[in-house]
Structure 1
Amino acid sequence: MTEFDDLFDPQYAAVDLFTNRVPENRVFADAVLMHLERVLDGVAILGDPVRRNVVSFYGIGGIGKTMLSQRLEDWLRGELTGSTDWGDRPVFDQSVHTARIDFHGSKVVSAIDILLVLRAALAGEGRTFPAFDVGLAAWWALARPGEPLPVIAKAGGLDVRAQIAATLTDALGGALDDTLRDVVSDAGGRLGIGPFSVRMGVRIVDAVRQRRLRGRLLRECDPLVAITERARRDPSQDIASSLAGLLSWDFEHLLPGERPLVVAFADAAEYIQDADRVQEALFNRIVYLTPAILWVVTSQRSLDWTSPATDGVLPKTGPGTWPGLCSPPRAEPSQHLVGDLSDADVMRYLSRASGTGGTPVLSDEVMNRILRGAHGLPLYLDLSLSIARAHGGKRLDSRQFGGPLPALVTRVFADLPEEERKLARTASLLPRFDPALVARAAGLLEGDARRLCARALVRRDEHPRFPYRLHDAVRTALADEAPSNRGAWTAPDRLARAQDLLDALRQRHDGVLNDIDHRLDLLQLAAGLCAEHGIEAPWLRKALFELPGMSRTAERLPPPDDRTWMGQLSRFFEAWRGRTTRERIDYLEDLVTTPLPHDVARAARLFLAYAHRTAGDADRALPILQALLAAEPDSSLLRYQLGRTLHTLGRYDELDVLLRESPPADPTEVERLRSDLAFERGQLTVAMAGAAARAEYLHAAGRHRVATENQSAALWRAALAGRATVAECDAMIAKADRSGAWLIMRTSLAAKAICLVGDEPAVSAILAEAASIIRARSGFPGWREWSAELLHALRLDDRHRIAAVREQWDARQPTCTPNYRLVDQLFRHAGYPPSYPPLPDDAEPANVDGRWHAIISRIIERT
């Protein structure tokens, strides 16, 4: 048995020696003092286009940048333990606040997560950030309806989430009704702030635009108006990153004595310095929009934000914007290459470790070979001592030392117990992991994985679900190790284990179907494995499609890449990144003309057809669905979608042939299609039953998003039949509100208005809310709103109101669809001539008109 547990005794870690070197600390201390002076002088502000708020430390993997970053933060906070040559930190009159952003293992930047960390760092008793909090609430409600804000930790026990809730209640005041005010009120509630919703987001945007906020300064914040309006149309991460400017706006309106010194540490930025720069652009914008925050960036590569190559790629570039990032720098703070340890430091470290703490005596030859091989790299020294300690007190052969770093890594791995060696190689395939995941994939015990996680080769951070990761230099060495090394994997070995990891991720995913955040974390790791190893995983595609919010899913996927299946699937999801329905149609139309894997091409065409149908262009959806069905004649889904489209277009003969000769395999699909036909003919009992049966089936199958669409259709038809209640409508509105289902919300609001026909205040309020939702999506009123308003106007015999709706109808001249046939029937009831011809396959069209006349009469005559 070896003494491997003692191999990384902290007393003799080379990283400690490195962080005791003074130059990096002096650079940081000078940067802090210069930054603080600029903040106090009032020049570190949004209005000054020059930014001097970045100090960068860069260097090769294994040099100790992460430890340096952590030690600098501890030193600034006055919490650095152990002996150090740095001395005490300066004494500041201001409170000192820090934030930490760890990019390890992150191929995707979450701008909103960074901003929540900064908001927590800035928080303090009595220190409010109303513009940011209102902007955050609007964005969050529109981008993540149904989700509460996460717990926002703050040292000292301050409840930042409750502080945000109090700020919202105070700022919005009368802009929210009682229901929505309950959401943001923290009075008596343990959670402090509940799930936001689309309606709340729309009302916040309206209140901001109409300047109905409390507080003169807040009402005068023009950027808040612009950002919330953009969030209304496009609640993407791009817009979220702009919220950083609101945080700075609030900071600049604090009294000078209330402004803390804020330093943000961004570690492992190389993970977001990808080729297309999309992720780095979000970080670039946040740093630019927070001039009063000093950013300490550690990375394997320097920041090239002054290079002409970044013009038009990153939001803010050029030497005039970032003088400290020029080479050579034109101002301080600036960038600094993290150098190697000096020969004297290396020998001092080895001499101190020799013969103590489980390390055998190191001969001069061993120390000299380590010195020549290390080139001053701290990780190399730690690994060398691990090899020495593994000998268990035996005489050391100097020839075992001095090899290249990759060889050193594999040598250390060879001395690990076999189980831990397998686990470590499994973990090396992931940017981050937890013990249970790698144990399941490797077919080993979780206890073995936990012992591995205690090794110094494994680092721990604050990720809530996957808190462990192998050192980057170790992952790189394992990926490149020679097959001749003991236990080394070949490319097929790595591929097989990646498949095992995918299986483990799938099993865990299937067990947490009601936890969207957990599913996203799992699917993000799975997508990364597929991208890295060229794997195709149909279950992953299906799982990604089932998640609510395609745009949020798109934010968590690897970058688009034509070379892999996953990269092509990411290209498909790009259609939901900051695009309206029309823009999405344009993107997908271009995408389907490019070479794509079969399943991705099929999905792109299918969702293009859906988008056309949603936009009211079912005639453009029809040929796409026909072509897809011709290629897959056995697809029940495609037959059903084709039937829905034929019905929408009024092509009843073709629909009849489809239902007779090749109906969908699922009986509820046929039932739904027949119920749609019954709806047009005013046979509401059959119309309700078919939609309800389809909804029940889909809910049982776990397809909740599509089930809710069918449920809302059943509710709409029930309202027309006088068999829906206001409570049922409110429940559906709330459900759609939490999930961000805009069209379902509009349908449910219209159904509620029909339930309340004749109640002028109630119906006017409902229609006003629907109008706000329509504005939020840059849309237009349609059959839902026109049906509700016409029924209400007919009940009140308000001819002026009927004429106003008719003007909208004439201006739009909507294509004939089943629901627009209903609007036409309402106009005919009001005395207008028909706009559409009778149903072509109905032998007695008068019976259809008679049924609808009776339905409309019952609604407008009921008490």
Structure 2
Amino acid sequence: MASRDLRALFSTNDRTLGAAEAFTNRQAQWGFVVTALTEHVRHVNSPAFAADDLEAARDNVVVFHGIGGIGKSTLSRKFEASLVDPGQRPAQWGAPVWGGARILPVRIDLARSANPDFEKVVLSVRLALAGIGRPLPAFDLALRRYWEHQHPGDPLEDFLNRGGLAARFGKALPQQMQSALADVAQALLLPGTVGSAIGQVTGALVGALRERRQTVRALSGCARLADLLESEPDLDSLSYYPHLLAWELARLPAAKKVTPVILLDAFEEIGDRTHRDFERLLQRLVWLMPNAFFVITGRSRLQWADEALQGQLDFTGPSAWPGLLVHDIPRARTEPSARSRERQMLIGDFSFEDCDDYLARRLSVNGRPLISDAIRRVIGQRSHGLPLYLDLSVMRFLEIRRSGNTPQPADFDHDFPALIARTLSDLTAPERHVLRSASLFSSFDVALATRAAGVPQEAPALRLVERPFVRETPFGLWPFHLHALIRATIRGADDQTDDRWSPADWQQAAVRALAALGEQWRSGSDRDRLLLVGCLRQGLAIARDYRLDLGWLVEAAWTYIGDSVWEPLDLAASPEAEGVTATAADVLVELLSALARRQHENRARTVERLVAVADTGLLPAELHEVAIYYRAKAQRDLGHTEGSRQGMQLVAAGGGRLAANARRGLAHLSRLAGDFPTALEAAEHLGWEGRHHRVVGDVRWVQGDMALAAEAFGAARAEGEEHGKSGEAAMSQAMRAFTLAFTTDPTTDDEIDLGEHLLSRVDLRAATLDVRIAALLRDAGTDTGVEDRAQVLAEEISTSGLLFVQAKLELARAFHYAIRDDQVGAASSISRLRELTREGYYAYYVDIAHFMADLPLDDPSRARWLDEQQTVRQRWRSMVIDRRALLASRAATGTP
């Protein structure tokens, strides 16, 4: 323990400072894989190699581990693509030489989102080997027996088709398995009817193998085949079947020889270091296939060479996995040592589990960790995986103990000024100045950092971005960002360096940083949405944290609102927010967040948030009206029409930027009440700012005049595209698709597809629901599960508080029932529409449902139709009759 104390007390910056270099150059990783794979190919082709040797050490695996989001999955995919097709290999990656060996890669995603299980892993490996073009009878018989026992009544071919494996690998496996079964049955002279029963074939085969009959001499070389065929066909047995694959691969003729390269990605998601059931099965796969090569990527290193895992895994210790032994945990290498033939490479920082492992090993008493679990957890979370922070925490632990106190977890919720000193120690004064300025940004480029620092040259920033604590995302809006811990510490720690900044220095830097963001936004394209959102997020955070005036953020907020795209703008809490009075920036963040989140929250919650925003009185008047207007819109969606009307009138009377929108809102309220002439007349005076074409379309479709409505929505979409308003274009196209879906127009499918395409670029919940209802209308009258789909959609809509969309969906149901002449269904739909429109708004939907079903209207709404009611009735009834005729024609000709 004394030497461990000395290492902790006398450690230097150089010992760990370079441990967390950002992973930006992947050429070294490719070279690492190529070298290891070349050695593997040479080894398995040597006369001394035996695929069925279960005792020899394994050197058939390499591991890349690092923090999430650093590119491990991308690297895994690039490895696979480069091995499949040399043309996809990056130019800087050298061409490998395999000595004539045929490489067969297969990548398996173990992420939870891919729903992995061990069966799929085994099947993926076998399906990849189907490309050899011949059965692998020993394995195929065992797999067939397992499948029929575990999945009775579910043919393997159906499972492969259902899970997408057949589409990825082809459909040769079931045929190859059947061929293997038939060949063995023939060799055993079994009758055809018996030969199709896997249980009888395997029973006869086991007997023949035990008796060493000549008829099965081709399989008799697999010494463990009979044992596996006699074992219970469960998941545990399946995990040993890869041994049969290894044996089959070893006896392939020279012309068919292959070296499988199996890439297992997201390895951390199969469990944790306590629950290793899945890991145990995968380790067996690796161990039992020594002639296959495995590339594993995950957040943590593999611990298989750790003898302490005996009992949790089957094969452990350095003698089993010499390449996986980590010789020096405190020094996290980014490149393995050639001397030690290490097979693990760290990409970036430690994972949380590696932080814990590091701290547990660093200080120990009698082989047990000195630092408690709770303290290790706090340190690991605060470190962001930076090894230097772990070292400083270890020294703090020892200092607290040396003072006679017992370290507690709260002692390590701590920023280290020494971290700043060590980070800045080899920087020049200009570089240190730029570093502090850059810490104001979550990401930056050289120009932004230079402008925020207020220095005349970019040279200090150019030197700074070459430092290992500056990470690079080449395709990001701003390519550079500081390591999270470095950034937090520089901004929050009690900096004791000689050139430390005063509060006034930070305030001045914040003013410069906010101005620099505004300059970048103004110099960009008007339609550069990515730049707008990035500048808003960073600018709002700086203005909030340093209590600055909004300045250019007001205009940027208007641009954000005007596009109706609604990317999330949620910001992390201010480090000093507790107990501090809210600023205008705080309120603007809440306003924009409420507008974006309303696409995912109940409209009642939106109203509540916007009321709170308006009540603060901290926003300038022009942004205050934004809260009033969108509160009125949400109230309309909820059916609170009187409150909505008052809000719209207030905004319209103010004559501000949203006055035209508010006038459109009042026109919508007239339409909701059934006063169509007033709504149409208002539309004539709205112009583009009031989205006049869309208002016309909204009035026309309820008249049953789908041609004019579709024309109006098409014009609205064109205007939106002309003005660069992707949200307006998407909303208008959604309603055009909805309108045409009532008709027999052959372009309806294309209109729905276009609506989905435009909506994929924005976040508009109501419009997205409109397109989904359009898909129901297109299929109305058919046996394509319309009612079930409508029920699912109704449940989704009910959580949103979008009353008007619920009524649209019910109208679509009424259309479906009318086409099918389902009087009971029509009556139930009308009843639901009455309930939804009981406040008097959208009450004319009940009239339309009667028109479609050709039912008498005893209690008509107060709607003022643009034409005679009989004309409107005839239009809606004609659409039902036309759809019936179309479906009858399709049925007669067999057209789907």
Instruction: Tell me if structure 2 keeps the 8 A contact 1:622–1:646.
Output: no
Where do 1:65-104 residues align within 5 Å? 67=17, 70=20
Q: Indicate the residue corresponding to 1:403 in structure 2.
A: none
SS of 1:554's partner is coil
Cα gap change, 1:478/1:704 in structure 2, threshold over 3 Å: closer, same or farther?
farther
Determine whether 1:607 maps to 2:630: yes
Cα gap change, 1:738/1:597 in structure 2, threshold over 3 Å: closer, same or farther?
closer
Alpha-carbon distance in 1 for matches of 2:703, 2:459:
68
Instruction: Tell me if structure 2 keeps the 8 A contact 1:166–1:184.
Output: no
Alpha-carbon distance in 2 for matches of 1:540, 1:71:
36
The one of 736, 742, 754 equivalent to 1:714 is 736
The Cα offsets for residues 156-193 of structure 1, whole Å up to 9 and x where unpaired, read as x996769778647998999x9999988997669xxxxx
Q: Indicate the residue corresponding to 2:766 in structure 1.
A: 743
SS of 1:592's partner is helix
Q: Indicate the residue corresponding to 2:554 in structure 1.
A: 538
Q: Give, as a single letter, the amino acid of the residue that structure 2 aligns with 1:711.
A: Q
Q: Indicate the residue corresponding to 2:653 in structure 1.
A: 630
- Please state how far the C-alpha of 1:808 moved relative to its aligned partner: 3.0
Alpha-carbon distance in 1 for matches of 2:653, 2:861:
31
Alpha-carbon distance in 2 for matches of 1:756, 1:250:
51
Q: Indicate the residue corresponding to 1:567 in structure 2.
A: 586
Q: TM-score, with normalisation over the residues of structure 2?
A: 0.51
Q: Give, as a single letter, the amino acid of the residue that structure 2 aligns with 1:448.
A: A
- Please state how far the C-alpha of 1:566 moved relative to its aligned partner: 2.0
Determine whether 1:524 maps to 2:555: no
Alpha-carbon distance in 2 for matches of 1:425, 1:462:
18
The Cα offsets for residues 430-478 of structure 1, whole Å up to 9 and x where unpaired, read as 354222433567798986255432676x832254533254965766799
Instruction: Tell me if structure 2 keeps the 8 A contact 1:63–1:338.
Output: no
- Please state how far the C-alpha of 1:523 moved relative to its aligned partner: 3.8
Q: Give, as a single letter, the amino acid of the residue that structure 1 aligns with 2:509.
A: R
Larger Rg: 2
The one of 439, 445, 459 equivalent to 1:448 is 459
Q: Indicate the residue corresponding to 1:698 in structure 2.
A: 720
Q: Give, as a single letter, the amino acid of the residue that structure 1 aligns with 2:568.
A: R
Alpha-carbon distance in 1 for matches of 2:160, 2:742:
29
Instruction: Tell me if structure 2 keeps the 8 A contact 1:441–1:504.
Output: no
Q: Indicate the residue corresponding to 2:227 in structure 1.
A: none
Gaps of 5+ in 2: 24-28, 30-56, 81-104, 122-153, 171-232, 236-267, 284-295, 302-349, 360-370, 380-389, 400-415, 890-896
Q: TM-score, with normalisation over the residues of structure 1?
A: 0.53
Q: Indicate the residue corresponding to 1:461 in structure 2.
A: 471
- Please state how far the C-alpha of 1:580 moved relative to its aligned partner: 3.0
Cα gap change, 1:640/1:442 in structure 2, threshold over 3 Å: closer, same or farther?
farther
Instruction: Tell me if structure 2 keeps the 8 A contact 1:165–1:185.
Output: no
SS of 1:760's partner is coil
The Cα offsets for residues 367-411 of structure 1, whole Å up to 9 and x where unpaired, read as xxxxxxxx995865897787xxxxxxxxxxxxxxxxxxxxxxxxx
SS of 1:792's partner is helix
Alpha-carbon distance in 2 for matches of 1:250, 1:547:
49
The Cα offsets for residues 544-574 of structure 1, whole Å up to 9 and x where unpaired, read as 4468775733256868775332221222345
Alpha-carbon distance in 1 for matches of 2:645, 2:713:
22
Determine whether 1:648 maps to 2:672: yes
Where do 1:387-536 residues align within 5 Å? 413=429, 416=430, 427=438, 429-439=440-450, 448=459, 451-453=462-464, 459-464=469-474, 465=476, 466-469=479-482, 494=509, 497-507=512-522, 510=525, 513=528, 520-533=533-546, 534-536=548-550
Alpha-carbon distance in 2 for matches of 1:765, 1:508:
51
Determine whether 1:679 maps to 2:722: no
SS of 1:839's partner is coil
Instruction: Tell me if structure 1 keeps the 8 A contact 2:815–2:852.
Output: no
Cα gap change, 1:777/1:682 in structure 2, threshold over 3 Å: closer, same or farther?
closer
Q: Indicate the residue corresponding to 2:174 in structure 1.
A: none
Instruction: Tell me if structure 1 keeps the 8 A contact 2:710–2:739.
Output: yes
Alpha-carbon distance in 1 for matches of 2:633, 2:542:
30
The Cα offsets for residues 120-167 of structure 1, whole Å up to 9 and x where unpaired, read as 9999x99xxxxxxxxxxxxxxxxxxxxxxxxxxxxxx99676977864
Alpha-carbon distance in 2 for matches of 1:544, 1:612:
22
Determine whether 1:800 maps to 2:824: yes
Alpha-carbon distance in 2 for matches of 1:812, 1:800:
19
The Cα offsets for residues 514-545 of structure 1, whole Å up to 9 and x where unpaired, read as 6x5x7654543233333244141123323544
- Please state how far the C-alpha of 1:640 moved relative to its aligned partner: 2.1
Determine whether 1:593 maps to 2:615: yes
- Please state how far the C-alpha of 1:851 moved relative to its aligned partner: 3.9
The Cα offsets for residues 23-67 of structure 1, whole Å up to 9 and x where unpaired, read as 49779xxxxxxxxxxxxxxxxxxxxxxxxxxxxx9xxxx989983
Determine whether 1:785 maps to 2:809: yes
Cα gap change, 1:563/1:775 in structure 2, threshold over 3 Å: closer, same or farther?
closer
Alpha-carbon distance in 1 for matches of 2:668, 2:163:
40
Q: Indicate the residue corresponding to 2:407 in structure 1.
A: none
Structure possessing the higher relative contact order (Cα contacts under 8 Å, 6 or more residues apart)? 1
Gaps of 5+ in 1: 1-20, 28-56, 74-78, 80-90, 102-112, 127-156, 189-214, 218-243, 265-286, 299-318, 328-333, 344-374, 387-411
Identity of aligned residues (%): 14
Q: Indicate the residue corresponding to 1:202 in structure 2.
A: none
Instruction: Tell me if structure 2 keeps the 8 A contact 1:622–1:645.
Output: yes
| RMSD of aligned alpha carbons | 6.2
Cα gap change, 1:835/1:476 in structure 2, threshold over 3 Å: closer, same or farther?
same
Q: Give, as a single letter, the amino acid of the residue that structure 2 aligns with 1:582.
A: A
SS of 1:596's partner is coil
Alpha-carbon distance in 1 for matches of 2:765, 2:426:
61
Q: Give, as a single letter, the amino acid of the residue that structure 2 aligns with 1:529.
A: I
Cα gap change, 1:806/1:66 in structure 2, threshold over 3 Å: closer, same or farther?
farther
Q: Give, as a single letter, the amino acid of the residue that structure 1 aligns with 2:543.
A: C
SS of 2:512's partner is helix
Cα gap change, 1:645/1:159 in structure 2, threshold over 3 Å: closer, same or farther?
farther
Q: Give, as a single letter, the amino acid of the residue that structure 1 aligns with 2:821.
A: D
- Worse-matched range after superposition: 763-772 or 162-171: 162-171
SS of 1:746's partner is helix
Where do 1:543-562 residues align within 5 Å? 543-545=559-561, 550=566, 552-554=568-570, 562=581
- Please state how far the C-alpha of 1:693 moved relative to its aligned partner: 1.4
- Please state how far the C-alpha of 1:597 moved relative to its aligned partner: 0.8
The Cα offsets for residues 604-651 of structure 1, whole Å up to 9 and x where unpaired, read as 222222222333434432212222222336732222233223322335
Aligned length: 587
- Please state how far the C-alpha of 1:502 moved relative to its aligned partner: 1.4
SS of 2:615's partner is coil
Q: Indicate the residue corresponding to 1:760 in structure 2.
A: 783
Instruction: Tell me if structure 1 keeps the 8 A contact 2:720–2:729.
Output: yes
- Please state how far the C-alpha of 1:666 moved relative to its aligned partner: 2.6
Where do 1:186-585 residues align within 5 Å? 248=272, 252-256=276-280, 258=282, 295=356, 322=374, 337=393, 339=395, 377=418, 380=421, 413=429, 416=430, 427=438, 429-439=440-450, 448=459, 451-453=462-464, 459-464=469-474, 465=476, 466-469=479-482, 494=509, 497-507=512-522, 510=525, 513=528, 520-533=533-546, 534-536=548-550, 537-545=553-561, 550=566, 552-554=568-570, 562-575=581-594, 576=597, 579-585=601-607
